Amino acid sequence: MKAKFLTATAATALLAGAITTATGAVAQNIVTMNTVQIFGSIDPAKISDYTDYMAAVNLYDGLITVAPDGSLIPRLAESWTVSDDATEVVFTLRADATFADGSPVEAKDVVYTFERLLRLNQGPSNLFAGIVAPGAVEAIDDKTVKFTLSQTFSPFMATMPALMIVNADLVEANAGDDDAQSYLAQNVAGAGAYDLVTWDRGARMVIRRNTDYYGGFPENAIDEVRWVVTNDEATVRAMAASGELTMTSQYQSTETYDALAAMGRFRVESFATPTAFYMKLNNQTAPTDDVHIRRAIAYATDFDTIREVLFPGEPMNTVLPGSFSAFLNTDVVAPTYDLEKAAAEIALSAYAGQQIPITLSYVAGTQFEEDISLLMQANLESLGFVVTQQPEPWNRVTELAATVEGTPNLNQIFYGPTYPSPDSMFFPQYHSNGAGTWISMDWAASPEVDALIDAARATGDTEAQAALYRDVQQILADQQVTIPLLSQLQMHAIDQCLQGMEMVPMMSFEFDFRKFHWDC
């Protein structure tokens, strides 16, 4: 095993030796990781899913970031103060913070970044809608910036790591006629620890360490990260066997994890996460517009087989992962696999006594999702459903999610908090203002749920918030708006030499490669 390990490491080093930086320095520590979906955007005003955030957290910095324990820690800002009524937040920027081009990060850059985010009204903008109005972010001086909130918003500070700051002068100079959307679709204007080298959309992305990064690096830092887009298990295993692969995605089959562990060069690590895996049901189109059909589908779901065989994970009794234990409604009774109860629910539905067409969608090429969809098909067809399988590439899933009519009846979706607050699990998924994205493919459209979420956002009383969120969970369960399949145990096969992986309760922030190092 030792000889095999050395051969693989030597192969990686040889690959590294062929790469030179703009200054002529040889890149030594290279990480190659596969992702199972494409990078949709690297524009920090448009990022929305796990690969987008994975790239952005390395290419850009925010005012603050998130520690593994969920606490907020400084990044571009060295300190901040919050007013007594929580409607004003003043950040003081680090004196030494610079963008990749060497220019200083100033308050004007924060103002510009926020105003552009509101103008584009995409990506993280929904976190601030109705909370911070245009013109409400003010540069007090070059290193001081003030946010004035329109109302008390308890999760405001928790949302701030999603605001990744752009170089205002550089972006304005390349604004064109689309507010720099074309420019930032291919270029980076950030203060992050890494620079973009190449991006072949749909195939791979390469980033390289900015040795002048103001935040510094650990000893034996990662010089270069190469992401290869593939969800083909055989390809992942071949990359590992050749010595190319350093780290897998978190969406591999158990067979692939076992195969890589047997090579000796990899360790397989498992991390408890706040990321949930849902069977999202389109509540607005037939037949899943009927609560009895939605309940029947839940009873037709073989939870044990999914959680224990097809994709191991922790049970969920509500839509909220157990990591938010202080806000969890433990009185909600989770559905169980029971085909007799499923048949009884169908008999109560508006579709009783007839064939029931239904469409099951999943991410094309993802083996475990295909296996789950085929398992669901077998169970549903035994109950009289006429099933159509609709595998789609991820970019097509996000397009279909934009409309009620385009969204299939059943959709397998992973979603975790984009900021460390239970609000991040409720507002984007179930509030009407969050509708029209892959996150909200349930199309819940419930005024009662909207009102409860709004009330939770408006109070600083944690106990009151918890009570409101528990009511939301009960309503969503009673209406079977969605089917919570499991809380993800995030697994990676990782080269024995690569260290620094820690889970962070914010989407993809664990992939901040500035914190990783090579230890061999």
pLDDT value for 13: 39
Is the pLDDT at 19 greater than 60? The verdict is no
Share above pLDDT 70 across residues of the chain, in percent, rounded to a whole number: 95
| Among candidate residues 93, 172, 94, 98, the one with its CA nearest the CA of residue 140 | 93
> Average model confidence (pLDDT) for the chain?
93
Q: How far apart are CA 445 and CA 481, in angstroms?
A: 10
pLDDT digits (tens, 9 = 90+) for 420-436: 899 999 999 999 999 99
Domain residue ranges in the chain: 26-60+192-265+496-519, 61-168, 273-488
Is the pLDDT at 15 greater than 60? The verdict is no
The answer to whether 397 and 411 are in contact (CB under 8 A) is yes
pLDDT value for 25: 43
pLDDT digits (tens, 9 = 90+) for 126-139: 899 899 999 999 99
Q: How far apart are CA 127 and CA 47, in angstroms?
A: 13
pLDDT digits (tens, 9 = 90+) for 451-473: 999 999 998 888 999 999 999 99
pLDDT value for 462: 86
State the pTM of this model: 0.78
pLDDT digits (tens, 9 = 90+) for 168-220: 999 999 999 999 999 999 999 999 999 999 999 889 999 999 999 999 999 99
The CATH homologous superfamily to which domain 26-60+192-265+496-519 belongs is Periplasmic binding protein-like II (3.40.190.10)
Share above pLDDT 90 across residues of the chain, in percent, rounded to a whole number: 85
Environment class of 413 (CB within 10 Å of its CB; exposed 0-12, middle 13-18, buried 19+): buried
pLDDT value for 319: 97
- Only one residue has tokens 């995030």, namely 490
pLDDT digits (tens, 9 = 90+) for 55-94: 999 999 999 999 988 889 999 999 999 998 889 999 999 9
For residue 242, give Cα distances in angstroms to 45, 251, 304, 446: 38, 20, 36, 52
Q: Is the peptide bond before 134 cis (omega within 30 degrees of 0)?
A: no
Is the pLDDT at 399 greater than 90? The verdict is yes
pLDDT value for 254: 87
Q: Is the peptide bond before 391 cis (omega within 30 degrees of 0)?
A: no
pLDDT value for 517: 98
pLDDT digits (tens, 9 = 90+) for 491-511: 999 999 999 999 998 999 999
Token pair for residue 496?
A: 């024995």
Q: Which residues contact 248 (CB under 8 A, 6 or more apart)?
A: 33, 34, 236, 240, 256, 257, 260, 492, 493, 494
Q: How far apart are CA 149 and CA 131, in angstroms?
A: 6
Residue 298, SS3 per DSSP: helix
| Among candidate residues 178, 181, 183, the one with its CA nearest the CA of residue 196 | 183
pLDDT value for 22: 40
User: Nearest 5 degrees, angle CA 165-CA 167-CA 173?
Assistant: 140
Residue 5, SS3 per DSSP: helix
pLDDT value for 189: 98
Is the pLDDT at 3 greater than 50? The verdict is no
| Among candidate residues 367, 342, 365, 378, the one with its CA nearest the CA of residue 483 | 342
CATH class of 61-168: alpha beta
| Among candidate residues 446, 362, 355, the one with its CA nearest the CA of residue 397 | 362
Per residue, what are the HEC states of 190-247?
Answer: CCCCEEEEEEECCCEEEEEECCCCCCCCCCCECCEEEEEECCCHHHHHHHHHHCCCCE
φ and ψ at residue 188, rounded to 5 degrees: -115, 135
pLDDT digits (tens, 9 = 90+) for 272-297: 888 999 999 999 999 999 999 999 99
> Measured in whole angstroms, how far is the alpha carbon of residue 342 from the centre of its chain?
32
- Only one residue has tokens 């937040």, namely 89
CATH topology classification for 273-488: Dipeptide-binding Protein; domain 3 (3.10.105)
pLDDT value for 278: 98
pLDDT value for 24: 39
Q: How far apart are CA 240 and CA 299, in angstroms?
A: 40
Is the pLDDT at 259 greater than 80? The verdict is yes
The answer to whether 88 and 148 are in contact (CB under 8 A) is yes
Token pair for residue 4?
A: 């095999």
Q: How far apart are CA 287 and CA 357, in angstroms?
A: 7
Mean pLDDT of 33-37: 95
pLDDT digits (tens, 9 = 90+) for 38-52: 999 999 999 999 999
DSSP code per residue over 411-428: EEEEE--SSSSTHHHHHH
- Give the strand pairing for 77-82 and 194-200: unpaired
pLDDT value for 419: 87
pLDDT value for 14: 36
Residue 110, SS3 per DSSP: helix
Q: Which residues contact 3 (CB under 8 A, 6 or more apart)?
A: none
Residues in the chain: 520
